[in-house]
Chains A and B, each alone.
Chain A
């Protein structure tokens, strides 16, 4: 055991190591927080908007990802203007053309322009990324706040429910919902919202538990502020940074779930242009015209990666729990 200890600390005296590990900001507790005091004195303390600005300056990958996401969102909104063809327009003479000047990404088995379909498909994917994520996070946040603040039986019931949700493979659960209610966009929303709230609830609950012990919450209680006001005015705003991070990281998983559901034939229904659907329709031609599957897959990949990089970047600057370590 001692041997392993030496490996871990091969250069330094543990006390020096401990000091090193504490980094430049370390200068003791309340009386010794010189670095912070100095920062406060010269007005260096940051709001979280400032922190996002810092991220844009320091984390180029995250900033670039934000730009990519913005471009894709704009393309989706203005799809009819941006796309070279209508995504439903069929042309039987132009079936399965290879990528060329007229059709940059070729055409599918019905002669529809793949690029246009991907641009229109962004509408479906982004809506499915955003709407169910938003709904599930609202549900999760409210339940998490209640569980954390009230504690006791409320906490027990909500968190066991969350455990059950998390114990199911989420795709399976979504499939069950979709099979019972049928395909279509609205049902995908419902299915994905039901599946995803539990994760948010857990995080909000744990933050609420620690925030409600902090003195400003006690101060509000001593004044006699109502419970719901405390929850939404004092606790929720202080969870916001983590929620923003969580939001950007939840979007890609929703997009992937939609793609999987569509691939399994229970998601978006033809002829709507969903990326998942496009991948599955291209499957037949995987060896002769591979771009039919590859192009939408790449689109999914780019969006998912962009959101993940952005989420990681935001977490680095915003998440107080991660920062402390």
Chain B
């Protein structure tokens, strides 16, 4: 992989905390994203993988300022967008869009397909009715929704079709970066593959950059160029998909892969090593390495020191004792 590719978005020491109660002196804070450094290269698909509560969705939303970060920096195309005024940010906002997980909640039930897809265009000043209609129909065709459904409402579509409408809305402004927040995890298997193929086609056609958030490692294997594994708000390991799947460096990555049920009974292994225990609370995360409470290889140092990032070839791993 070439090192001189253009960085489209870069997070530096990004922190997002949610205040959930407690007193002024002793506040209760959810540490959703803790000191994350991340680069997304132009034109690639970076997958963000982890279990629920690992902060992957929060991170995705913070990167495009749907949530304001608590501290840290996000550079989009070289400009720090954190703390930018609304007016300054308006021009950049249209370059980053998001596709949501739940196709039922992501479309306003009281708006027709036409209105939903036209909204981004109208917001950025397209007034001409015929031009608008032409564009919306072109977008519908692009994502595989028949033109005659132009005036229908979301409840008249199936989950897969709704997800396509959400995709049409996201690409309407020809953005450069799209955050895909679990876009296929609510869909049936046969529909899931249709939507994944569509996302790949669109990426090729428009040179899109995806941040693909998912808990499903097999989907990630298909779509991602690079993978970032997160646990409890911090990054465990980043690397290109093939080598990461072949040889996980972080114990968590390895155990996560063990846990996936594989659609082949010959791969059954009753003895395989499973993660024990539950995910610790993000309100009181464990000291040191956040994974140490579940890690079968944890030693004293893991309880005390937060691991520094170690570079192994093209990959980066945050572990005191990387595997391999």
New A-B contacts (16) at CB < 8 Å, excluding given A222-B66, A224-B120, A238-B110 = A30-B102, A43-B156, A45-B155, A215-B101, A218-B98, A219-B98, A219-B107, A220-B119, A222-B93, A222-B98, A223-B94, A223-B119, A223-B123, A225-B119, A234-B108, A238-B108
- What is the CB-to-nearest-CB distance from A228 to chain B, in angstroms, rounded to a whole number? 12
Q: Which of A215, A220, A222, A229 contacts B105 (CB 8 A)?
A: A215
Q: Are B123 and A225 in contact (CB under 8 A)?
A: yes
The CA of A238 and the CA of B110, in the complex, are separated in Å by 7
Q: For residues 149 through 208 of chain A, which have their beta carbon under 8 Å from a beta carbon of chain B?
A: none
Q: For residues 223 through 239 of chain A, which have their beta carbon under 8 Å from a beta carbon of chain B?
A: 223-226, 229, 233-234, 237-238
Does A110 reach chain B (CB closer than 8 Å)? no
> Which residues of chain A are within 8 angstroms of B93 by Cβ–Cβ distance?
222-224
Q: Are A224 and B123 in contact (CB under 8 A)?
A: yes
Interface SS, A side: helix
> Which residues of chain B are within 8 angstroms of A237 by Cβ–Cβ distance?
108, 110-111
> Which residues of chain B are within 8 angstroms of A37 by Cβ–Cβ distance?
158
Q: Are A218 and B186 in contact (CB under 8 A)?
A: no
Q: Are A216 and B108 in contact (CB under 8 A)?
A: yes
Q: Are B155 and A216 in contact (CB under 8 A)?
A: no
Q: Which of B100, B108, B110, B120 contacts A223 (CB 8 A)?
A: B120
Interface SS, B side: loop
> Which residues of chain B are within 8 angstroms of A41 by Cβ–Cβ distance?
158
Does B90 reach chain A (CB closer than 8 Å)? yes
> Which residues of chain B are within 8 angstroms of A224 by Cβ–Cβ distance?
90, 93-94, 120, 123-124
Q: For residues 18 through 56 of chain A, which have their beta carbon under 8 Å from a beta carbon of chain B?
A: 30-31, 37, 40-41, 43, 45-47
- Of the candidates B90, B106, B166, the one having the most CB atoms from chain A within 10 angstroms of its own CB is B106
Q: Which residue of A lies closest to B120 (CB)?
A: A223
- What is the CB-to-nearest-CB distance from B160 to chain A, in angstroms, rounded to a whole number? 12
Q: Are B97 and A216 in contact (CB under 8 A)?
A: no
Q: Are B105 and A238 in contact (CB under 8 A)?
A: no
A-B contact pairs, 22 of them (CB 8 A): A30-B186, A40-B155, A40-B158, A41-B158, A47-B153, A47-B155, A215-B100, A216-B107, A216-B108, A218-B61, A219-B98, A219-B166, A222-B97, A223-B97, A223-B120, A224-B120, A226-B123, A233-B111, A237-B110, A237-B111, A238-B108, A238-B109
> Which residues of chain B are within 8 angstroms of A30 by Cβ–Cβ distance?
102, 104, 159, 186
Q: Which residue of A lies closest to B109 (CB)?
A: A238
- What is the CB-to-nearest-CB distance from A224 to chain B, in angstroms, rounded to a whole number? 4
Q: Are A45 and B66 in contact (CB under 8 A)?
A: no
C-beta contact mask, B297-313 vs A, less than 8 Å → 1, else 0?
00000000000000000
The CA of A219 and the CA of B173, in the complex, are separated in Å by 13
The CA of A234 and the CA of B159, in the complex, are separated in Å by 20
The CA of A271 and the CA of B153, in the complex, are separated in Å by 53
The CA of A220 and the CA of B116, in the complex, are separated in Å by 9
Does B226 reach chain A (CB closer than 8 Å)? no
Does A221 reach chain B (CB closer than 8 Å)? yes
> Which residues of chain A are within 8 angstroms of B105 by Cβ–Cβ distance?
214-216
Q: Are A216 and B106 in contact (CB under 8 A)?
A: yes
Q: Which 10 pairs from chain A and chain B are nearest by CB?
A: A237-B110, A45-B155, A215-B106, A215-B100, A216-B108, A224-B93, A223-B120, A215-B105, A30-B186, A222-B98
- What is the CB-to-nearest-CB distance from B156 to chain A, in angstroms, rounded to a whole number? 7
Does B16 reach chain A (CB closer than 8 Å)? no
Q: For residues 61 through 114 of chain B, which have their beta carbon under 8 Å from a beta carbon of chain A?
A: 61, 64, 66, 90, 93-94, 96-98, 100-102, 104-111
> Which residues of chain A are within 8 angstroms of B101 by Cβ–Cβ distance?
215
> Which residues of chain A are within 8 angstroms of B100 by Cβ–Cβ distance?
215, 218-219
> Which residues of chain B are within 8 angstroms of A218 by Cβ–Cβ distance?
61, 66, 98, 100
Does B176 reach chain A (CB closer than 8 Å)? no
- What is the CB-to-nearest-CB distance from A44 to chain B, in angstroms, rounded to a whole number? 10
- What is the CB-to-nearest-CB distance from B215 to chain A, in angstroms, rounded to a whole number? 14
- What is the CB-to-nearest-CB distance from B108 to chain A, in angstroms, rounded to a whole number? 4
- Of the candidates A218, A221, A233, the one having the most CB atoms from chain B within 10 angstroms of its own CB is A218
The CA of A204 and the CA of B105, in the complex, are separated in Å by 19
> Which residues of chain B are within 8 angstroms of A47 by Cβ–Cβ distance?
153, 155
- What is the CB-to-nearest-CB distance from A232 to chain B, in angstroms, rounded to a whole number? 12
The CA of A233 and the CA of B110, in the complex, are separated in Å by 9
Q: Are A219 and B169 in contact (CB under 8 A)?
A: yes
The CA of A221 and the CA of B120, in the complex, are separated in Å by 10
- What is the CB-to-nearest-CB distance from A235 to chain B, in angstroms, rounded to a whole number? 9
> Which residues of chain B are within 8 angstroms of A223 by Cβ–Cβ distance?
93-94, 97, 119-120, 123, 169, 173
- What is the CB-to-nearest-CB distance from A117 to chain B, in angstroms, rounded to a whole number? 44
Q: Which residue of A lies closest to B108 (CB)?
A: A216
> Which residues of chain A are within 8 angstroms of B120 by Cβ–Cβ distance?
223-224
- What is the CB-to-nearest-CB distance from B87 to chain A, in angstroms, rounded to a whole number? 11
Q: Are A222 and B123 in contact (CB under 8 A)?
A: no
C-beta contact mask, A282-316 vs B, less than 8 Å → 1, else 0?
00000000000000000000000000000000000
> Which residues of chain A are within 8 angstroms of B123 by Cβ–Cβ distance?
223-226, 229
- What is the CB-to-nearest-CB distance from B175 to chain A, in angstroms, rounded to a whole number? 10
